[in-house]
Structures are given as structure tokens and as C-alpha cells.
């Protein structure tokens, strides 16, 4: 795939201003934004402090990898996602295989988003595992979001796959923004390797 072909794809392909993929992409690029968002919510939504404290205690009390992975599925912990993923990263050797196994069948948005955050930050580069298992994933949303991991942690050889995936997702799901994950991944790989 030539630099010009990639540029043509990026110019021709839709770029939605708001999408889940764009949100996660921004969160990864601007690492301190999540902490600032949590501070903003704490200031603007009164009464959340006891809930946040209880959630932090729940995370602190998680002793096994299984406990941590179960917490990654809880909607109530969204405001404590940073702390939860940090806890998972501390026990990566034990949590990674469990997260990978669960990712194959899970369709729950909160688990998907926590999984992507984990894969973006873990020591193990999961790109080969993602590509090897891509057709097994049950969730198109997960596939879209995992493309972001390929964009940030992968290499230039993945661009062709990502372009085909963006085109497929846009064609098969025109009312969804699933195509934005692979599109942003192509953009990121282009910046890293083709500029």
C-alpha cells in the first residue's frame, strides 16, 4: 500500500466528529484528559463522592484476576475506569488471558471499552493476538475498537487490513460509526510510519 493510496483513503473516507472510537482515540492521545474529566464530573455532579469511594474500595478489594475481570463488566465503575484498568495492568500476567478469553464472546460496551484501554497500555503487544482472533469476535463494536489498538501499537503492514475493515464496516453498518475505529487506526499508522 503506497503513501498516496493511504492519503486517498483518508481523504475519501468519512471522518465523523463524534464517535466512540474518536473518544477513545482522544483519551489515548491526551493521557491526562481522563483524570481531568473525572475531576470535572466530581465538581459538576454533586453527591457522587460516596459512590466513587465505594467503587474505589471495591477495586482495592479485588484480590484475584477473576475479580478484576468481573469488575471490568460493571457499569457502575465507569467513573473509576482509570483505577480499574491500572489494577488490571498491575496483574497483567494473570488478567491478560482472562480478558482475551472474555473478549471473544463479550458484547458489553463497558467491558469492551475497558478491554481496549487495557490492550492499549499493557506491556504485551496484543496486535498479533487481535489479528489471529479477529474473525472470532462476536461484537462489531469490539472489532472496531480493537482496530484502535492496531493503530497505536501495530505496524505499517496492518494498514491494508484496516482499510478493508473500514470499508466493510461502513458498507455493512452505514448508520453506525464502527468504521471510525479502523479509519483512525489508518490515520495513526500513517502519521507514525508514512510521514
Q: Which pLDDT belongs to residue 23?
A: 81
Range of the domain at 70: 3-193
Q: Which pLDDT belongs to residue 45?
A: 62
pLDDT for 126-172, tens place per residue? 999 999 999 999 999 999 999 999 999 999 999 999 999 999 999 99
Q: Which pLDDT belongs to residue 48?
A: 64
- Closest by CA to 142, choosing from 177, 176, 178, 166, is 178
Q: Which pLDDT belongs to residue 171?
A: 96
Higher pLDDT, 47 or 101: 101
Domain count across the chain: 1
Q: Which pLDDT belongs to residue 75?
A: 79
Stretch among 1-10, 64-73, 168-177, 182-191 having the lowest mean pLDDT: 1-10
Q: Which pLDDT belongs to residue 42?
A: 65
Share of the chain above pLDDT 90, in %: 70
- Closest by CA to 85, choosing from 49, 59, 55, is 59
Q: Residue ranges of the alpha helices (H) in 33-139?
A: 33-44, 49-61, 65-71, 81-90, 92-103, 109-121, 127-133
Q: What confidence category does residue 183 fall into, taking pLDDT thresholds of 50, 70 and 90? A: very high
Q: What confidence category does residue 81 fall into, taking pLDDT thresholds of 50, 70 and 90? A: confident
Higher pLDDT, 96 or 43: 96
Decide: helix, strand or coil at residue 183.
Answer: helix
pLDDT for 26-59, tens place per residue? 877 777 776 776 677 666 666 667 777 888 899 9
Phi, psi of 99 (to 5 degrees): -65, -45
Q: How many CB atoms lie within 10 A of CB 136?
A: 9
Q: Which pLDDT belongs to residue 52?
A: 76
Q: Which pLDDT belongs to residue 151?
A: 97
Amino acid at each position: 500500500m503506497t503513501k498516496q493510496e493511504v492519503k486517498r483513503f483518508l481523504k475519501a473516507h468519512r471522518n465523523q466528529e463524534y464517535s466512540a472510537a474518536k473518544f477513545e482515540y482522544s483519551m489515548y492521545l491526551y493521557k491526562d484528559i481522563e483524570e481531568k474529566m473525572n475531576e470535572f464530573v466530581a465538581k459538576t455532579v454533586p453527591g457522587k463522592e460516596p459512590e466513587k469511594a465505594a467503587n474505589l474500595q471495591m477495586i482495592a478489594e479485588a484480590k484475584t484476576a477473576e475479580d478484576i475481570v468481573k469488575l471490568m463488566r460493571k457499569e457502575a465503575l465507569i467513573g473509576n475506569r482509570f483505577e480499574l484498568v491500572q489494577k488490571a495492568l498491575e496483574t497483567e500476567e494473570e488478567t491478560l488471558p482472562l480478558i482475551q478469553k472474555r473478549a471473544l464472546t463479550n458484547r458489553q460496551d463497558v467491558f469492551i471499552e475497558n478491554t481496549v484501554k487495557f490492550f492499549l497500555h499493557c506491556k504485551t503487544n496484543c496486535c498479533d493476538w487481535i489479528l489471529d482472533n479477529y474473525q472470532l469476535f462476536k461484537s462489531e463494536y469490539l472489532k472496531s475498537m480493537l482496530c484502535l489498538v492496531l493503530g497505536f501499537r501495530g505496524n505499517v503492514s496492518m494498514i491494508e487490513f484496516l482499510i478493508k475493515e473500514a470499508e466493510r464496516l461502513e458498507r455493512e453498518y452505514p448508520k453506525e460509526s464502527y468504521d471510525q475505529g479502523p479509519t483512525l487506526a489508518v490515520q495513526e499508522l500513517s502519521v507514525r510510519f508514512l510521514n
